[in-house]
Structure 1
Amino acid sequence: MTHPAYQHTQPLLRWQTALVLLLLTALISASFLSLDMHWAELFSDQSLQSSRDFLAGFAPPDMQASFLHKTAMATLETLAMSALGTVLAALAGMLLALPASKQYGTLLYHCSRLLLNLARAIPELVWASIMLIAAGLGPFAGTIALAAHTTGVLGRLFAETLENLPPENAQTLKLNGASRAQIFFYASLPMGLPQMLSYTLYRWENNIRAASILGVVGAGGLGQMLKYHLSLFQMHSAATVIIAMLLLVALVDALSFAIRRRLTR
């Protein structure tokens, strides 16, 4: 027989779900009504012709050996920015995740949560603008900007991973006199590490795209090259940079997907 309490909760959950869907529908409808959307102009003959003329200016891409070498160096710089920024963020996020998780809750819990929320609430471009003032133009500012924003994201995800771990192993070690550090390294970390690595790799994929954009504000890499050539209307050179961006993103996406798939087996 079904427990009476469960029978009472089912209609309540259905009403809550219906209410949430109703509110989302109202919000989406209000968004369409409040925005001045000119769909007809977007798909007009003049708009389509202007778009075709603009895209035609990118062909053919610049394939000179000297420019390809320069693009390859910028690609490696973008890759290095994203990788180093993600590694720094994973380390900082892990340090902040411990006090930010209820499982390891301390007096620093609310401060850690506030710091993580602040770090991820500020976009990478804003972080990059701040770091450019402090560190000047170049990839260093972009790397720190990526690390700052990603720390907030990974720290929150790591904290939730630790909170959702089964408590049995940690409780067993605690009953046997293990310290909090021993419980973390011998119980929590081995259990949560695959999920944390999966989150880190996924954020690396996002940081590849973000690193390409950060160059627009002068943070180095492919983005800085793209801004330079577009500002001078050198469309053929810009096309080569865009192709390099697409290839880099596709390569990192495929590599990250393969590693995450192996981790979750």
Structure 2
Amino acid sequence: MSASFAAAPPRCLRCWATALAIVIAAAASFAWLAIDYGALFTGESLSLMGRFIAEFFPPDLSAAFLQKTAWGALQTLAVSALGTLLAAAGGALLALPASGRSGAWVQGATRFVLNFLRSVPELVWAALMVLAAGIGPFAGALALALHTTGVLGRLFAESLENAPRAPERALAQSGSGAVAAFAYGSLPLVLPQWVAYTLYRWEMNIRMATVLGFVGGGGLGQLLYFHLSIFQQPQAMTVLAAMFGLVALVDMASARLRRDLGPAHA
């Protein structure tokens, strides 16, 4: 037998079975939803969609409305930044016991809290925070902070579990306190990863902060909901353009910061 046949990898029956199951599940989903694609692409439907899109143009570029939109963009940016900062602080505090540094029982309880925080969607947290803190940006910031704490706490804890403990143990055995041993032994190893996770979640929270405005979280989302509800499409188009510009700006800034924190800049 030639070497090419001998080196051929064995067939993965489980892989083929999994792929087949995914294809069957996708086909069954389309069949169960019973989507009428014919009605979707009829001339009447396309005409109605085109007419609706045309109503958004030209956008409202008056000075008064641009000033109003800029203020909404600043609110959205502040909501996302405050929510992410609070979540990073809370996630860092919960990551220590969640990584198993305080015993198995405390680790299990902390992971339960983190799972609960991130299992509740941001919109549900926002509805609860609106009842507690009132309609406005602060409710949106709290909603983002609660959900993102669960996400970042889990990510921070996993990075701590994967980091080598030898430097921290060496400092502790040489007489350093527990806080100093962690700060100088383990924290420098995981801090770049923690910052990268936080920046990535900030990108996501910018988008979510606009959605939270629909339930009273303030910012561009609340402005968009108001103008859409009274059929002012040109004003809504201006808000949508501001959303796109804000998200693009934060994406570029966050990507640059993460690149600067990479191994080549360490």
- Between stretches 250-259 and 164-173, larger displacement belongs to 164-173
Q: Which residue of 2 aligns with 1:5?
A: none
Contact 1:218 1:224 in 2 (8 A): yes
Contact 1:103 1:163 in 2 (8 A): no
Unaligned residue ranges in structure 2 (runs of 5+): 1-8
Q: How does 1:1-265 map to 2 (within 5 A)?
A: 14=12, 17-18=15-16, 20-102=18-100, 105-264=103-262, 265=264
What letter corresponds to residue 254 of structure 1 in structure 2? M
Deviations 1:2-56 (A, max 9, x none): xxxxxxxx97x95655555454444434333332222232222222211111110
Alpha-carbon distance change, 195 to 241 in structure 1, aligned in 2, over 3 angstroms: same
Cα distance between partner residues in 1 of 2:174 and 2:19: 48
Cα distance between partner residues in 2 of 1:165 and 1:14: 33
SS of match in other structure, 1:145: helix
Deviation of 1:177 (Å): 4.3
**How many correspondences in the alignment?**
255
Contact 1:103 1:162 in 2 (8 A): no
What letter corresponds to residue 129 of structure 1 in structure 2? A
| CA RMSD, Structure 1 to Structure 2 (Å) | 2.0
Alpha-carbon distance change, 181 to 212 in structure 1, aligned in 2, over 3 angstroms: same
Alpha-carbon distance change, 19 to 115 in structure 1, aligned in 2, over 3 angstroms: farther
Unaligned residue ranges in structure 1 (runs of 5+): 1-9
Contact 1:85 1:144 in 2 (8 A): yes
TM-score of the aligned structures, taking structure 2 as reference length: 0.89
Q: Identity of counterpart residues, as a percentage? A: 52
Deviation of 1:101 (Å): 1.0
Deviations 1:156-213 (A, max 9, x none): 1111111111233233234434443233211211000111100100000000000101
Deviation of 1:218 (Å): 1.3
SS of match in other structure, 1:59: coil
TM-score of the aligned structures, taking structure 1 as reference length: 0.89
Contact 2:213 2:225 in 1 (8 A): yes
